[in-house]
Amino acid sequence: MRTSVCDMLGIEFPIFAFSHCRDVVAAVSKAGGFGVLGVARLTPDELETELRWIEKEVGDRPFGVDAQIPAKLYGDESGAELPREELEAQIPERHRKFINDLLARYGVPELPPQLSDEKLPYTIARDAFSREKEVALLEVALRHPIRLIASALGPPPAHLVDAAHRKGVRIAGLVGAKKHVRKQLDAGVDLIIAQSYEAAGHTGDIGGMVLIPEVVDAAGPVPVLAAGGIASGRQFAAALALGAQGVWCGSVWLTTEEAETHPLVKEKLLRATSSDTVRTLSESGKPCRQLRTAWAEEWEGPDSPGSLPSPLQWLLCADALERIQRAAYSSEGARKLMGYSVGQVVGSLNEVKPVHQVIFDMVDGCLNVAQGFADTLSGNEELDR
């Protein structure tokens, strides 16, 4: 397989994997795709450890990182970052009480004090969006042989684009609407990721069938990757047919053998149908597609005080979400509340596979579609004659 992004990044298959799990990132790059580590939940020291490990695992295979660098920040018109204490002080008591009552109602136990410093083996949302933190993380990333930095939540800042380009590192920008493309191009991105409504995580409200060709047209010569709802060869082929030069997938890796997904979440994902996700404000304060859980439903219920704007909602919920994860094995209530970001394609994730098998199936399926089209269309041509 060879599209423009294969040449740009030195990969065999134009399949990109967003993952918080280093094992997935390495396995994708080793299988001929491009692994991208989500850094938003790491500290700079943790990132250093993860990148060293990936580097050793993949040898000279390419890989990258993804950061959430918010273009707009809450609370200060000038865009400066408010200190955490000031943000915390803005969280209304009513919201804190709602969470405490919710956890009590679902019987989620308090954390034993000695546990609070112990790191969970599963990734969770710990921090609010922070521009300062993301920039510190990217400084670490640029000391490693990464080939790509993807930036979500707005165009990347000029100093980051310059620093990356000086080192030959490409920059990708995520967009959820055609109108965002111009700003990304002006910021100097080398690649655009068109992330549609179906996708896991922070999504816009336009479906892929409409979004991808619109973004491809707006991006001109800059290549576009399609994101959202892609987990099979047929979906991969459809993305290429819409003009994308590759695919950017997140959900499909969550149920792979290598993924560090909480085992009880993995079970929920394997059982879920494509109707079992919801775009909710209840974790981060921005529309984020997640598994439909009691947590998301309670935030929509009659007693809910309503979600707070980002990043206050994130600050409000981070401890509670950690408490829920830690209690999941012992508390049925915690299991009902526990969810994760996942896209609508979860309905087709019904078995655990190794990463290399996912890639093989996607490539093989895509080639079958292409061959099928070639056969059918040439057959039709003969009939027309």
Ligand X SMILES: Cc1cc2nc3c(=O)[nH]c(=O)nc-3n(C[C@H](O)[C@H](O)[C@H](O)COP(=O)(O)O)c2cc1C
Q: Which residues bind ligand X (CB under 6 A)?
A: 18, 38, 40, 66, 68, 152, 174, 195, 198-201, 227-230, 248-252, 254, 340-343, 345
The least CB distance from residue 297 to ligand X, in Å, is 20
The least CB distance from residue 171 to ligand X, in Å, is 13
The least CB distance from residue 18 to ligand X, in Å, is 3
Which lies closer to ligand X via its Cβ, residue 316 or residue 345? 345
The least CB distance from residue 317 to ligand X, in Å, is 15
The Cα 97–Cα 95 span in angstroms is 5
The least CB distance from residue 226 to ligand X, in Å, is 9
The Cα 115–Cα 131 span in angstroms is 29
Which lies closer to ligand X via its Cβ, residue 247 or residue 308? 247
Which lies closer to ligand X via its Cβ, residue 32 or residue 229? 229
Which lies closer to ligand X via its Cβ, residue 95 or residue 249? 249
Which lies closer to ligand X via its Cβ, residue 98 or residue 251? 251
Which lies closer to ligand X via its Cβ, residue 42 or residue 98? 42
The Cα 112–Cα 262 span in angstroms is 20
Question: What single letter denotes the amino acid at residue 234?
Answer: R
Q: Token match 């991208």: residue?
A: 36
Which lies closer to ligand X via its Cβ, residue 68 or residue 307? 68
The least CB distance from residue 174 to ligand X, in Å, is 5
Burial code of 61-96, b = ≥16 C-beta within 10 A, e = fewer? Answer: bbbbbbbbbbeebbeeeeeebbeeeebeeeeeeebe
The least CB distance from residue 231 to ligand X, in Å, is 7
243: helix, coil or strand? coil
271 burial (CB, 10 Å; 0-12 / 13-18 / 19+) is: exposed
The residue with its CB nearest to ligand X is: 250
| Number of C-beta neighbours around residue 266 at 10 A | 18
The least CB distance from residue 324 to ligand X, in Å, is 16
113 burial (CB, 10 Å; 0-12 / 13-18 / 19+) is: exposed
Q: Note whether 84 and 128 are within 8 A (CB).
A: yes
Among the listed residues 265, 237, 253, the one whose alpha carbon sits nearest the alpha carbon of residue 355: 253
The least CB distance from residue 274 to ligand X, in Å, is 10
Q: Token match 């896991």: residue?
A: 200
Q: Token match 């136990």: residue?
A: 109
Relative to beta strand 170-175, strand 148-152 is: parallel
Distance of alpha carbon 213 from the chain centroid: 21
The least CB distance from residue 196 to ligand X, in Å, is 8
Which lies closer to ligand X via its Cβ, residue 245 or residue 251? 251
Which lies closer to ligand X via its Cβ, residue 95 or residue 269? 269
Which lies closer to ligand X via its Cβ, residue 251 or residue 331? 251
Residue 132, token pair as written in the block: 């300062």
